Chain A
């Protein structure tokens, strides 16, 4: 590549090389005006399984969110049931996933079956 073109490119976009330099990444330059609210989507893959978070989408209301979720996340029978919930209605444990909230579980090894020594010759245990 000629020296006059110092920009870096990578196979960043899965469909091909895109520039790495001089691309804006700052947030909040424009307030999201009139944007549909964000919904989180949960799909039950099949009967007998829990609903699992699969991603998010924008929709004007709950009904549209379910329809969009079907089109975006279940085009190939990935699910038998969909939950959607507005992202701003979710309460999360903490900003940092690793905070003291989960620390109490750390020193309670006696809650796990492997804490207890049972001789190998005891059957069915």
Chain B
């Protein structure tokens, strides 16, 4: 599938008009349609970095597969991590409909030219982190991803529908894991609280900086690529998480968190955006390790890819 080049001036206006009409109707843009170059570039960037996040996102939890405390937990964790690989592949496939090549995307991830979500640069220090990631990190992902099912680019929206169906399992297994630990010993309860203390703020950062600092949001929303602003999604996530934390019996580490009856929503504190910037720029606790691991996996797999190609060439 190829992407059509921008048309000559005469026809360009008509193509732009057709594109605008599709967006105005809340219809979907499909791969073979003409699209403005900036729309295409925005999608490539968004879908590629979303895919990279899924792929790198396997590492923090993958760390605990061999040390899961029971066969049941190990099977669950394996399935969850395998799903994240699947999510990455659905999204790479969507990016390819825009003309990106798989090898190019992988190279841009490994070389650090394209980024992935900052949340995966935090370490998983205890097994409780597996539960907290499912509950809060996948929970935040759900808040981000559900509106994207209606995104204007067809292949991206279809990938998101598949992904959202699977995320619900991710969040529930995490919450159930934490509930089980909360019914355990004082030590286990302390492990859960300590884990929630570490992940709460990075989870809030997942929605991006405040809207006032997000100049591109308006254009992405006008194009129907993005459906909600960073702040709206963050608010929704906080409002959903507070009663879940209460039910679980943990405290969320924010002294400013309280119900605001006037707004019908929770007031809450701001994450440390300087920390966020530092982590995105490579200064997080695990940035170098995550990329090195991905590069190693890619390099170590080279002979397998080559052997399979040679075998296929022999059979052809």
- Interface positions of A (Cβ within 8 A of B): 1-2, 5, 8-21, 23-25, 27-30, 32-36, 38, 54-58, 60-61, 64, 71-72, 75-76, 87, 92, 94-98
Contact = CB atoms under 8 A, between A and B. Distances in A.
B99 A27 contact: yes
A17 B100 contact: no
Nearest to B52: A13
Nearest to B54: A15
A32 B101 contact: yes
A92 B32 contact: yes
B299 to A, nearest CB: 14
Given A13-B116, A56-B93, A75-B82, 6 more contacts: A17-B207, A17-B209, A24-B114, A56-B97, A60-B305, A92-B32
Contacts of A27: 3, 44, 98-101, 104
Interface in B112-148: 113-120, 137, 140-141, 144-145, 148
Given A17-B230, A72-B90, A11 B34 contact: no
A16 B117 contact: yes
Given A8-B214, A15-B119, A55 B49 contact: no
B32 A15 contact: no
Contacts of B280: 9, 17-19
A10 B118 CA distance: 11
Contacts of B113: 23-24
B114 A38 contact: no
Contact of A17 (B30, B162, B276): B276
Nearest to B15: A96
Nearest to A24: B113
Interface string B277-296: 10010000000000000000
B83 A95 contact: no
Contacts of B82: 75
Interface in B52-105: 52-54, 57, 79, 82-83, 86-87, 89-90, 93-94, 96-104
B233 interface: yes
Contacts of B20: none
A8 to B, nearest CB: 5
A16 B103 contact: no
A25 B208 contact: no
30 contacts: A9-B209, A10-B208, A10-B220, A12-B208, A13-B49, A13-B116, A13-B117, A14-B87, A14-B144, A14-B145, A14-B148, A14-B160, A15-B116, A16-B207, A17-B207, A18-B50, A18-B53, A18-B116, A18-B280, A23-B114, A27-B99, A29-B104, A32-B102, A38-B96, A61-B315, A64-B308, A71-B86, A76-B166, A92-B1, A95-B2
B46 A12 contact: yes
B309 A16 contact: no
B119 A1 contact: no
Most buried by B among A32, A36, A95: A95
Most buried by B among A25, A27, A29, A32: A25
Contacts of B145: 14
A16 B93 contact: no
A10 to B, nearest CB: 5
Contacts of B52: 13
Nearest to A78: B162
B16 interface: no
Nearest to B228: A11
A98 B18 contact: yes
B107 interface: yes
A23 B51 CA distance: 14
A55 B82 CA distance: 18
A10 B216 contact: yes
A27 B276 CA distance: 29
Given A16-B118, A72-B90, A11 B207 contact: yes
